Each structure stands twice: as C-alpha cells, then as structure tokens.
Structure 1
Amino acid sequence: MKKNQWKNNGSLINPLYDFIPAQPENEKNINLENKKIISGIENNETKNSPWVAEIKKLPYNLLCILLEELKSGNSIISINSSNWPQNGSIVVKLRKGFKKENKNIKGTKWRLLNDPHYCNEEITEILNDIEFLIIN
C-alpha cells in the first residue's frame, strides 16, 4: 500500500494542503487514514503535520462537525488558508456530502449550493468576524 501524504500546493504564508490518499483507495484504507487524521487533530500533532495547525484554527462547532464527518467515513480533500472569503478564513473540502445531523448545529449555517464550480454544500461558522467553511 502506498502511504498517504499531505502536499502544500500553496505557500508558507497561505498554505493549501491537498490530501493524496493511500493506494489502493478503498474503504479499509480510508478508515485507516481517517483514524490517523483524527488522532493528529485530537492530539494536536502540529510538529510533523503542519496541516493540523490549520485545522485547529477552525471554530469549535466546525471542528466538532469535521471530526464527526471523519469518524463517519467522510474524508478531507484539501485544507485551504488562502484568505478567502476573508483574511484569516480556513476552508476544508470534504469528499462526500454532510451527514443530516451536521446540517443543523447551533452557531453554524448550512447551505445547499449545487455549484459545479465551487461546491455542493457548505457549513460556515463565524469567529471574530472571520468566516470559516467546510465544503463538499
């Protein structure tokens, strides 16, 4: 099995971490990868995994939604810190649609967009006047 990896296709100032999944890409490998990713986030493993530092910038409710999505089998495609839609924004892109119970969390806003150039759905949370997003 080829190991998974995170690749920064952005810059040091505005990182864009793309996730390259292990091969072959199947449910077993996705579940193994998700366990490692969840552990990295929950244990704040930022030293060798700079993408964790970006994830940890998410507001509390979005971080909880992200962890729940990962635990249910969804997976991260990318983590973007390109300061869009605002300076300081973080956008996490997931592979699959959101679980129904994650679409109605207090303090967050869910929208169905069906935009082939952007995303299908988004969940946003605002912290200190900065919008953070999880999209799919």
Structure 2
Amino acid sequence: MTKRSSWSRWPSSPHLHFRCSTNWHAMSDEEAATIASTSAAEIRARVGDPSAAADWVSLVYRLPDGLRQVLLEELDRGNLLVEIGESSWPTPRSVIGTMRDRFRGEGRTWPPGVVWQQVNDPRQWREDVAELLDDEEFLLMT
C-alpha cells in the first residue's frame, strides 16, 4: 500500500514554510518514489500559473531555473522533497528545500550556475546545491 503525501504549513513560521506530513523516515524507497513522482507532476501542472496559491508549489517556482531543474530531476529519480520554505538565511529572501536522499553529486553535471558541495556536518546537513539569483542564495539540501 502506497502512502499518500500531504503538505502542512508550519504555523510557528512567520514565512511560508511547508513540510511533507508523511512519515518519510519510515517510508520505503518505492513509496518515496511514488510520492516524488506525484509531486513532480503537481509542479509541472502549475507551470502556467505557478503562484495560483500560496503553497509549497509556489515556493518551488521561486527557485531559480537551474535549481528548479535539479529539484525536478531529483523527484524524477525518486528523491522526495520533505520540506520547503522561505528563510532569512543565508540571504533575506532565500527559499530552502530539504530532500530525503543524497544528490549523488560527485561527477554529476549540474545546470549552469548551480553549485554542489558536500558538507557532511552531523549538526547541520550532508550536502547542498545552491544557485544565486539577484544576489539571493537558494538551496536544496540533504
């Protein structure tokens, strides 16, 4: 049985901030891939009117083109987006997304302007891909 994902807004955040309400830690790779595929389809379906609602998809469309391309590639590979939100870090209007699995970044070709780095700090995150747009930094992290 495949679990259905839903998104919930963090009520304590002053910014738009959403997280996947499914227990993604306990989810099988197959279940995650199914939900990731559904998320990718939802993003692609909104291409004509990305800001139709103030929801998680509208935040995806605030990502620069290269980073949004990486996100869709990751979803197509079965990597699940578990959280996305506005942040005042690392720059005032940043959007940061967190993925369930690693990017497998070594040797991978990234879109122009997208930079991958391996962090591996157990107190922070494992790796990220970043892109600058109008001096604002946007991130996807694992």
TM over 0.5: yes
Contact 2:16/2:55 (<8 A) preserved? no
What is the match of residue 80 of structure 2?
75
Q: Structure 1: which 5+ runs fail to align?
A: none
RMSD: 2.4
Deviations 1:26-84 (A, max 9, x none): 23322221121001111116546710000110000000001001111111121021221
Q: Does 1:28 align with 2:30?
A: yes
Residues 103 and 123, structure 1, Cα contact 8 Å, conserved in 2: no
Matches within 5 A, 1:96-115: 96-100=101-105, 102=108, 104-115=110-121
Give the deviation of 1:130 after TM superposition. 0.3
Once the two structures are TM-superposed, the CA of residue 125 in structure 1 deviates from its matched residue by 0.3
Q: Assess if the C-alpha contact under 8 Å between 1:10 and 1:17 holds in 2.
A: no
Residue in structure 1 matching 2:134, options 125, 128, 136: 128
Alignment TM-score, normalising by the size of structure 2: 0.82
Q: How many residues were matched structurally?
A: 136
- Going from structure 1 to structure 2, the CA distance change for 1:119 and 1:42 (only over 3 Å counts) comes to same
- Cα deviation, residue 13, structure 1: 4.9
- Residue in 2 that maps onto 1:6: 7
Structure 2 match to 1:16: 17
- 1:49 and 1:34 map into 2 onto residues whose CA distance is 20
Instruction: Mark the runs of 5 or more structure 2 residues left unpaired by the alignment.
Output: none
SS at 1:90 equivalent: strand
Partner of 2:55: 50
- Alpha-carbon separation, structure 1, partners of 2:130 and 2:67: 7
Q: Secondary structure at the match of 2:70?
A: helix
Q: Could you tell me how far apart the structure 2 residues matched to 1:12 and 1:93 are? A: 16
In structure 1, what is the Cα distance between the partners aligned to 2:100 and 2:69? 17
Paired residue type of 1:4: S
